[in-house]
Amino acid sequence: MTYPLCFSDIGKTLKLINFINIINYMKIENKEKPTKEIMDKYCNKIEQYLSAHGVKIKIELYDIPSEMVVSVGGSMIKKKLIWIKQVQINSQATGDMSVKLHRRSLTDDITEHDIWRDAWYIQEQIYKKLGIVPDINNKEEGYWHLWEQKYKV
């Protein structure tokens, strides 16, 4: 005995096929937890960029990554795993403080320019916390040390 196929069944079938295709082709970013080597390299470079401030940093990771899903038209097309919880900063001027980076993870393909931008963001947060506006006429101020290195990147 055969049953007539109604339009609602066809719609459900097409949605299922579409979902299966999306799952098969969905891009997942940051699958791997950042390694200690990558984190050490990143921290050392940030500390070098911010050496005028005597900054020490430590990255806090989630044990299990958070997920951010990118959808188009209600269909998932990309999933990003978020590993970085926050960056702990310690310096004589700031004491302990934490900064939330826009970066979600660290991979071995991170560029020097990416690291420099993160150092810039961290420095901005330090100056914001301290309530200091950099003096554009005093190039000896620690703020400009980072900018001198920008042109080397």
Q: Which of 144, 132, 152, 133 is nearest to 51 (CA)?
A: 144
- Is 61 a domain residue? yes
Q: What is the rounded distance in angstroms from the CA atom of residue 136 to the CA atom of residue 124?
A: 15
> What is the pLDDT at residue 50?
95
The answer to whether residue 75 is domain-embedded is: yes
Give backbone dihedrals phi and psi of 126, rounded to 5 degrees, phi first. -65, -50
SS3 at position 24: helix
Number of compact structural domains in the chain: 1
For residue 10, being part of any structural domain is answered with: no
d(C-alpha 84, C-alpha 111), whole Å: 17
C-alpha separations of 103 from 2, 39, 64 in Å: 56, 13, 17
3-state secondary structure of 75: strand
pTM of the entire predicted model: 0.75
Q: What is the pLDDT of residue 136?
A: 82
Question: How many whole angstroms separate alpha carbon 45 and alpha carbon 56?
Answer: 11
Q: Is residue 133 part of a domain?
A: yes
Q: How far apart are CA 38 and CA 138, in angstroms?
A: 35
pLDDT in tens, 41-86: 999 999 999 999 999 999 999 998 888 888 778 777 788 888 999 9
Q: Which of 44-53, 78-87, 104-113, 134-143 reaches the highest mean pLDDT?
A: 44-53
Whether 145 is covered by a domain: the verdict is yes
- 39 occurs within a structural domain: yes
Structural domain range at position 123: 29-150
β-bridge mates for residue 29, sequence order: 80
CA 88 – CA 60 distance, rounded (Å): 7
- The answer to whether residue 90 is domain-embedded is yes
